[in-house]
């Protein structure tokens, strides 16, 4: 049987870290969870709401004696945090992360860890539009995927031990051997859609002839789904785009190409092109429903049907 962790340190106390804490408490999975956040305000809030068994005033203190250290900071802050905690890491400990990109995190973290410490990159594919220490909840990972992206020299036992923790927190595990492939898949399913949603919301905000109140009042017709995505944490997303630059720009290039083709079809009145395109995209939706990754309830269940 796989050995469980005794002490887990969460570095950074936002949506993911706080949800991990509540999920670990729910399952009584570890003896002690320590936590650290750079901002004194966040640490105070964490203490107030009982987030973590012990909130520490330095990252070093938090990782001391921990057999698992989870880096839950924005991708751009990973390198500095890795350097900061390195001297305090316990030999044999595992370091993991929850970043949305993997190549950049591996480059930032791996070279800074001491020998005898295992690094197992991971990416829980779960989130909401809320952020900060109060936004977490135990059920966030239930049924969601957590991608484990081990490096070639990752210790198999350390990898498996981390996978068991994620499963115990409710997630489904998938191992992805290639960090570059991970980054491309995420550029398609997450990073490009987020940038596009941000862009559309920004455009609506800019338009002077369409008053704010009209955009908001009539948002139910499609726009509001973009605004939810575009309400995600700005720091996190800035770092995602800066560190997954190539894959994101590649997908956005493909997107622009397709968008221009559809714009031309509109301009020239090519209804068949539009109809065929819109018919094809329906099939993907069916696949997502069948895979259990979304609800078929109309409008995400926001509308309630009569009996």
Location of structure tokens 């997954």 = 244
CB nearer a copy of itself, residue 19 or residue 42: 19
**Per the structure block, which two tokens stand in for 89?**
């890491």
CB nearer a copy of itself, residue 91 or residue 292: 292
Binding positions for a copy of itself, 133-192, rule CB under 8 A: 135, 137-140, 142, 144-145, 147, 174, 181, 184-186, 188-190, 192
Count of residues interacting with a copy of itself (CB under 8 A): 116
Please report whether residue 305 would count as binding a copy of itself according to CB under 8 A.
yes
First-to-last alpha carbon distance for the chain, in angstroms, is 48
Please report whether residue 41 would count as binding a copy of itself according to CB under 8 A.
no
Binding positions for a copy of itself, 5-34, rule CB under 8 A: 22, 26
- Within the chain, strands assigned E span 7-11, 32-36, 54-55, 68-71, 94-97, 118-120, 122-124, 145-148, 172-175
CB of 260 vs a copy of itself, minimal distance in Å:
8
Q: Residue 251: in which H helix or E strand, if any?
A: helix 245-268
Location of structure tokens 């081990």 = 150
Q: How far are the Cα atoms of 13, 16, 20, 145 from residue 44, in angstroms, in the given order?
A: 11, 18, 19, 31
Binding positions for a copy of itself, 228-287, rule CB under 8 A: 228-232, 234-235, 237-239, 241-242, 245, 248-249, 251-252, 254-256, 258-259, 262-263, 266-267, 269, 271, 274-275, 277-287
Binding positions for a copy of itself, 188-227, rule CB under 8 A: 188-190, 192-207, 209-210, 212-227
């Amino acid at each position: 049987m796989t050995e469980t962790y005794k002490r887990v340190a969460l570095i950074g106390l936002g949506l993911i870290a706080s949800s991990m804490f509540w999920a670990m408490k729910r399952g009584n999975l570890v003896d002690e969870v320590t936590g650290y956040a750079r901002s004194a305000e966040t640490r105070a809030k964490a203490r107030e709401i009982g987030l973590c068994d012990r909130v520490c005033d330095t990252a070093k203190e938090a990782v001391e004696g921990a057999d698992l250290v989870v880096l839950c900071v924005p991708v751009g802050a990973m390198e500095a945090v890795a350097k900061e905690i390195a001297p305090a890491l316990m030999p044999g400990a595992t370091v993991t992360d929850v970043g949305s990109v993997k190549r950049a995190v591996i480059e930032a973290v791996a070279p800074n860890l001491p020998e005898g410490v295992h690094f197992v990159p991971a990416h829980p594919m779960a989130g909401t539009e809320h952020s900060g220490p109060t936004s977490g909840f135990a059920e966030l990972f239930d049924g969601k995927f957590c991608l484990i992206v081990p490096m070639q020299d990752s210790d198999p036992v350390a990898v498996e031990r981390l996978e068991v923790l994620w499963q115990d927190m409710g997630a489904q595990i998938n191992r992805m051997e290639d960090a570059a492939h991970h980054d491309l898949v995420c550029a398609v399913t997450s990073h490009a859609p987020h940038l596009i949603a941000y862009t559309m919301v920004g455009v609506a905000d800019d338009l002077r002839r369409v008053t704010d109140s009209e955009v908001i009042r009539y948002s139910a017709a499609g726009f509001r789904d973009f605004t939810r995505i575009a309400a995600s944490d700005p720091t996190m997303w800035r770092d995602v785009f800066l560190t997954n630059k190539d894959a994101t720009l590649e997908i956005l290039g493909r997107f622009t190409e397709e968008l221009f083709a559809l714009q031309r079809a509109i301009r020239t009145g090519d209804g068949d092109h539009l109809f065929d395109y819109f018919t094809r995209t329906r099939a993907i939706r069916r696949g997502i429903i069948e895979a259990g990754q979304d609800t078929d309830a109309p409008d995400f269940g926001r509308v309630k049907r009569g009996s």
